[in-house]
């Protein structure tokens, strides 16, 4: 991490919700890719058509599929968030990875911060400091301040 910036409380909550939702986001990415590849998009969901990208003309179904996947904003944003979470998780040490697994990915969430700290054999203050470091790294990676 570079120079630490103060993150707004709402941003912290948003980043934490993305961490809680990570596995669902991965599932939604797969579902969205499948929708785009099969040309069956639920009502109310837009798919860019190749005719919207002028003056380029694509004759191959592979080219049209590539354009559809590359131009879908919803898919791009979900992938950006998932990749940021994966990057931050991968650069964490083993203890912080365990904090992420226990706090954000364990279902159902049964432990309080005191319970998480006890599980990791650290103080509650250290658990919060680690959480803040993870949130800071992820918000920087996503460009959310």
Q: Which residue has the higher pLDDT, 56 or 135?
A: 135
Q: Can you tell me the distance from the alpha carbon of 134 to that of 140, in angstroms, rounded to the nearest whole number?
A: 10
pLDDT at 2 over 70: no
pLDDT bin (cut points 50, 70, 90) of residue 63 is: low
pTM for this entry: 0.78
Q: Provide mean pLDDT across the span 111-132.
A: 97
pLDDT at 1 over 50: no
pLDDT at 66 over 50: yes
Q: State the average pLDDT for the chain.
A: 86
Q: Can you tell me the distance from the alpha carbon of 122 to that of 60, in angstroms, rounded to the nearest whole number?
A: 57
For the chain, the structural domain boundaries read 9-142
Q: Can you tell me the distance from the alpha carbon of 37 to that of 101, in angstroms, rounded to the nearest whole number?
A: 32
Q: Provide mean pLDDT across the span 2-24.
A: 89
Q: Which residue has the higher pLDDT, 39 or 59?
A: 39
Q: What is the pLDDT of residue 3?
A: 57
């Amino acid at each position: 991490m570079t120079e630490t910036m103060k993150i707004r409380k709402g941003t912290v909550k948003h980043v934490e919700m993305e961490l809680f939702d990570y596995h669902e986001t991965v599932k939604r990415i797969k579902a969205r890719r499948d929708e785009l590849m099969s040309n069956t998009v639920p009502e109310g969901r837009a798919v860019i058509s190749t005719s919207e990208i002028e003056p380029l003309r694509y004759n191959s179904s592979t080219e049209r599929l590539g354009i559809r996947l590359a131009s879908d904003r919803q898919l791009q944003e979900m992938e950006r968030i998932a990749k940021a979470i994966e990057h931050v998780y991968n650069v964490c040490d083993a203890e912080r990875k365990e904090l992420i697994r226990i706090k954000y990915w364990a279902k159902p969430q049964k432990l309080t911060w005191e319970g998480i700290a006890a599980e990791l054999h650290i103080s509650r203050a250290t658990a919060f400091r680690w959480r803040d470091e993870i949130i800071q790294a992820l918000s920087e990676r996503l460009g959310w301040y």
